[in-house]
Structure 1
Amino acid sequence: MEELAKSWSCLTLSDVKGSQVCITEEEAIPEFVLVAKFLTKRTLNVEAIAKTFTPIWRMKNGFRVTKESDHVVLFTFDNQTDLEQVLNTKPWSFDKHLMVLHRYDKEVDVSESDFNMVAFWIQVHELPVHFQTRAVAEKICGDAGVVNKNMEEGDSMGDGFVRVRVKVDILKPLCKGRVVSLENGKGIWVSFKYERLSNLCYWCGSLTHDDWDCEVWIESGGTLPSEAQQYGAWIRALPFVRSKRSSVSVWVSTNKKLQVQIQRPPQSSLQNHRW
């Protein structure tokens, strides 16, 4: 950078060649871009990436993949709707490894982008029935990351659990759950399960490396038994299906006739969505 500044100071340009030219945002090509980092040691192949996500995303106008560095690419879409569709249904993975995805900020160099936060759906299990509400689940998930409190109510309720959208810091071990104190002084363990979880280190709970690259495993010289792992397949949630529980309301009308109304949960478009 210093060499560039010195070279610039030595230039002697005519008034015409050296006059300042101003360009505005209105003159830029309208693009809708997401920047993604792939948490894998393998060399990226943009053709393989395009072939992988084309049938999954099913964009009407397609998209473009541009490699920026060894493990960072840009996804360029034709319109805002396609971009939002991909962004709102993350996390995504490639070759079983997590792909950290966020909006491209033209004010920040791609090499300086922050790839530490990823949004997951966390299923909160083992809650007593009368505490299975979104408000309670959001309160409990506060230690797991930044909770998104603007989700639709129907997206929160499953059979026997409540799910919450949480932005997680992937530089920290995944939160397995927490102890919750009830008013009667009793403490209960509430477990977390993560939807669409990619490769995870079962030794330390990190999303940034596999079991074989974990310092815990390496320092042990490969002698640790699997029973010593702090995590397991139990932290992976099954694909979400909205609660199938129906409720029945019974009342007596003014003409003394018994009225019965059955309320069923709305059908979810997520049930037919292929992840």
Structure 2
Amino acid sequence: MVEDLPNDFEKIRLTDDESKVIGENSVDDDDSNNQIALSLVGKLLTSKPFNVEAMKRTLISIWKLHDNVSIKMLEPNLFVSQFYSEADREMVLDGCPWFFDGKLIVIREINGEEQPSEVFFHHAPMWVRLVDVPFSKRNKKTLIEIGDFLGTFLEIDDTDPLGWGEFVRMKVMIDVGKPLRRGLFLVVGTASSKWVTLKYERLDEFCFFCGRLDHTDSSCSYKDEASETNAEIVYQYGPWLRASPRKTIRKPASEIEREKKLKERLTSARKVRIPSYNDPDAVKLGPPGVARKLQFPPPRPREASLVKAVGVKRKFKRRNVSSFEGVIDSSLKGGNMKGTGQKRNLREEVPDDLLISETQIVKKQKLENLVLAGDGINQVRGVGLSQPPEKQ
């Protein structure tokens, strides 16, 4: 047995002939490389003995190859499958995982520099079902992130392009040396998360105590360690992690392709979200009375304007003023006005806040292209004469 051979060569005295290294000048044989390229090495994940010949017949039957295949045992639980067609080899790899007698068969490519005793199987692909996935998390980007979290994402079941099924199905390369994941927390919104349950298809034998695939709880070393420390034996895993094999009822290829095109249309014609009243980004106005409190900009100096002098009964000062209707130039000094229209002198009492200059009083101003009110997005403009301050 290979495992019975000593591995510590420091304790072995090698002869001169045994110490020599050969093969340095040899060239790799192309025929040997081609044979390795068409081969796969595999193992049945079990610690119990099994019927090798029955396993061979079962694999040949379920693989349904176009060409021949030869399955040779290197060790009691290590075999090589020699294919004679690249298409058959790829079909077997793509069709993983494979099972025999409810036990997972791990298969991988051969490294020509390895010895059979150095072959280890750390990962295996499995179909995982995500149950009760939130509606907003059934997109491809999120599912790829979930697959990489569980192990290595491989593919999504494309028979349901819209993703509105009872569960989401994906193939993931998982670490067979670690406990199975029973679920995961998925972020929704900004400050909450939801638990998503995981199930594994064709999962038969595994350890209900530690959740690993390569043994059962009857031969679990982790359970033995717990019992030696008088710890409570709690089975954290169970048959509820199993999912029955998916039924082979498939939609017609034309129907699947049609749904894919419809989904592409949904993605390309995505509507802009219209905010509701309670949305923090929505623009909301106050009562109408607030909008009536118009704010006018101060008059620009040295510009012509339309004015009409009138009096109001407030805090008065008696001044000599001119009443004028028309366009005037208020930049002239000495109380003079220049412009077109009718002008007359009068003695009138006017409030202090309406005395803008020595010669004119602005009580009503023509509104033309003037912003009356706004909320930063919508603006109200006016054309005409403004109202007196007491009526605003």
**Superposed pair shares fold, TM > 0.5:** yes
Partner of 1:146: 152
Q: Distance in 1 between matches of 2:159 and 2:198?
A: 19
Higher relative contact order (Cα pairs below 8 Å, separated by 6+ residues): 1
CA contact (8 A) 1:155 1:242 kept: no
Partner of 1:270: none
Q: Distance in 2 between matches of 1:79 and 1:189?
A: 45
Measured on the aligned residues, the alpha-carbon RMSD in Å equals: 3.5
Q: Distance in 1 between matches of 2:112 and 2:241?
A: 37
CA contact (8 A) 2:47 2:214 kept: no
Alpha-carbon distance change, 171 to 19 in structure 1, aligned in 2, over 3 angstroms: closer
In the alignment, is residue 26 of structure 1 matched against residue 17 of structure 2?
no
For 1:7, the aligned partner's letter is D
Moved more, 20-29 or 206-215: 20-29
Larger radius of gyration: 2
Alpha-carbon distance change, 195 to 140 in structure 1, aligned in 2, over 3 angstroms: same
Q: Secondary structure at the match of 1:28?
A: helix
TM-score, normalising length: structure 2? 0.53
Alpha-carbon distance change, 125 to 5 in structure 1, aligned in 2, over 3 angstroms: farther
Alpha-carbon distance change, 201 to 265 in structure 1, aligned in 2, over 3 angstroms: same
Which among 202, 210, 232 is matched to residue 204 of structure 1?
210
Alpha-carbon distance change, 195 to 28 in structure 1, aligned in 2, over 3 angstroms: same
Alpha-carbon distance change, 162 to 5 in structure 1, aligned in 2, over 3 angstroms: farther
Q: Distance in 2 between matches of 1:34 and 1:152?
A: 25
Q: What whole-Å deviation, never above 9, does each CA across 1:92-115 have from its counterpart, x for those lacking one?
A: 222322221101121222321230
Pairwise CA distance, 1:224: 9.9
For 1:220, the aligned partner's letter is S
In the comparison of the two structures, how many residue pairs are matched?
A: 240
Q: Secondary structure at the match of 1:188?
A: strand
Q: What whole-Å deviation, never above 9, does each CA across 1:222-264 have from its counterpart, x for those lacking one?
A: x9999x321222212233369999xxxxxxxxxxxxxxxxx94
CA contact (8 A) 2:159 2:250 kept: no
Alpha-carbon distance change, 199 to 180 in structure 1, aligned in 2, over 3 angstroms: same
Q: Distance in 1 between matches of 2:175 and 2:79?
A: 21
In the alignment, is residue 114 of structure 1 matched against residue 120 of structure 2?
yes
Pairwise CA distance, 1:73: 0.7
CA contact (8 A) 1:91 1:118 kept: yes
Q: Distance in 2 between matches of 1:20 and 1:146?
A: 38
Identity of aligned residues (%): 27
Partner of 2:76: 70
Which among 162, 166, 184 is matched to residue 168 of structure 2?
162
Q: Distance in 1 between matches of 2:98 and 2:248?
A: 21
**Deviating runs (4+, > 6 A) in structure 1?**
1-5, 18-21, 223-226, 242-245
Partner of 2:320: none
In the alignment, is residue 265 of structure 1 matched against residue 256 of structure 2?
yes
Unaligned runs of 5+ in 2: 1-8, 259-392
Partner of 1:48: 54
Q: Distance in 1 between matches of 2:170 and 2:153?
A: 7
Alpha-carbon distance change, 3 to 151 in structure 1, aligned in 2, over 3 angstroms: farther
Q: What whole-Å deviation, never above 9, does each CA across 1:6-41 have from its counterpart, x for those lacking one?
A: 22579xxxxxxx999744432437421110122223
TM-score, normalising length: structure 1? 0.73
Q: Distance in 2 between matches of 1:55 and 1:208?
A: 25
Partner of 1:194: 200
Which among 54, 57, 65 is matched to residue 59 of structure 1?
65
CA contact (8 A) 2:210 2:222 kept: yes
Pairwise CA distance, 1:186: 2.2
Partner of 1:6: 16
Partner of 2:132: 126
Q: Distance in 1 between matches of 2:91 and 2:201?
A: 18
CA contact (8 A) 1:39 1:208 kept: yes
Pairwise CA distance, 1:43: 3.7
Moved more, 108-117 or 74-83: 108-117
